[in-house]
Amino acid sequence: MRRGGGRRSAGVRTAGVWDALRPVLDQGPLDVIDVGGGTGHFAVPLAELGHRVTVVDPNPDALAALERRADEAGVIVVGHQADAHDLMSVLDGESADLVLCHSVLEYVEDPAAALRALVAVLRPGGTLSVLVAGALAAVLHRAASGHFEDAQRALTRPDGRWGDHDPVPHRFGHGSLHTLAVNAGLEGIGITGVRVFADLVPAGLIDSDPQAAEALRSLEAAAAGHPVLRELATRLHLSAHRPL
């Protein structure tokens, strides 16, 4: 494998989130809480940028791996064991400038309650970053793999599930995610698509060709806010603010 192999495809798949967060991160050292941050995929790079990062995750093994990863990177990341509903058991209210909650809301029993808990730990004016599974992407991917009945179920069910064996309890569209944010009292709501095309392109092509990786990243950035294409994204990214 060429140098960088595997990392380019991973970078393209997360570029949309980093692009959305960059204006916030550039404001200076922030108090960041990463809910469901697991092994530190986002937390450790944020700490390397100079931010003060805390990870809250219910999995003790993930937190142990986070500690090792942070040690290897030479940074400090604080870890607490709790889930999204119990943030106030380990955190103070209004203690964060930025709260991340990536690939969590689709698995909790009550996404609305979890979102309210996230807002409670934000300082007034703070930013919330939420990444969730996109509903229409499941339809597209099941149909493309020949599971046409699954695709139709995912298209018609309000939770976006394709069947009883679907491992994802909830999927979201732009409308349902926007409504959750409004009901949680958030302002400045922006929703973009992440991985509109990236999951449809063989990883080997991206990893072996730097020019292809950069071209795909540019295409993803152009499609992220497109009112039609963003709905086809594997993930939807919500960025919003707690009112001052």
All structural domains of the chain, each given as residue ranges with its CATH number in brackets, are 7-132+172-241 (3.40.50.150), 135-169 (no CATH)
Q: Please tell me the predicted confidence (pLDDT) of residue 103.
A: 95
Q: Which two tokens stand for residue 55?
A: 């990870």
Q: Please tell me the predicted confidence (pLDDT) of residue 1.
A: 30
Q: Is the Cβ–Cβ distance between 191 and 236 less than 8 Å?
A: yes
Nearest to 133 by CA among 112, 158, 108, 160: 160
Percent of the chain with pLDDT over 70: 96
40-99, pLDDT tens digit by residue? Answer: 999 999 999 999 999 999 999 999 999 999 999 999 999 999 999 889 999 999 999 999
10-34, pLDDT tens digit by residue? Answer: 788 888 899 999 999 999 899 999 9
Residue 182 has pLDDT above 80, yes or no: yes
CA distance 177 to 207: 32
Q: Which two tokens stand for residue 146?
A: 């020949």
Q: Please tell me the predicted confidence (pLDDT) of residue 2.
A: 35
CA distance 115 to 128: 10
Which of 20-29, 34-43, 99-108, 203-212 shows the lowest per-residue confidence on average (mean pLDDT)? 203-212
Percent of the chain with pLDDT over 90: 85
Which pTM value belongs to this model?
0.92
Burial level of 11, CB count in 10 A (0-12/13-18/19+)?
A: middle
CA 142-145-151 angle, to 5 degrees, is 25
Residue 232 has pLDDT above 70, yes or no: yes
Helix (H, G, I), strand (E, B) or coil at 37: coil
Q: Please tell me the predicted confidence (pLDDT) of residue 81.
A: 96
Which pLDDT band, with edges at 50, 70 and 90, does 204 fall under? Answer: confident
Residue 160 has pLDDT above 70, yes or no: yes
Q: Please tell me the predicted confidence (pLDDT) of residue 202.
A: 84
Q: Is the Cβ–Cβ distance between 45 and 55 less than 8 Å?
A: no
CA distance 196 to 178: 19
CA distance 131 to 222: 18
CA 4-195-30 angle, to 5 degrees, is 80
Within 10 angstroms of residue 41's Cβ, the number of other Cβ atoms is: 15
Q: Is the Cβ–Cβ distance between 102 and 165 less than 8 Å?
A: no
Q: Is the Cβ–Cβ distance between 126 and 100 less than 8 Å?
A: no
Q: Which two tokens stand for residue 172?
A: 């979201």
Which pLDDT band, with edges at 50, 70 and 90, does 6 fall under? Answer: low
| Average pLDDT across the chain, whole number | 93
CA distance 41 to 44: 6
128-145, pLDDT tens digit by residue? Answer: 999 999 999 999 999 999
Strands (E), 82-229: 96-102, 122-133, 187-194
Q: Is the Cβ–Cβ distance between 125 and 30 less than 8 Å?
A: no
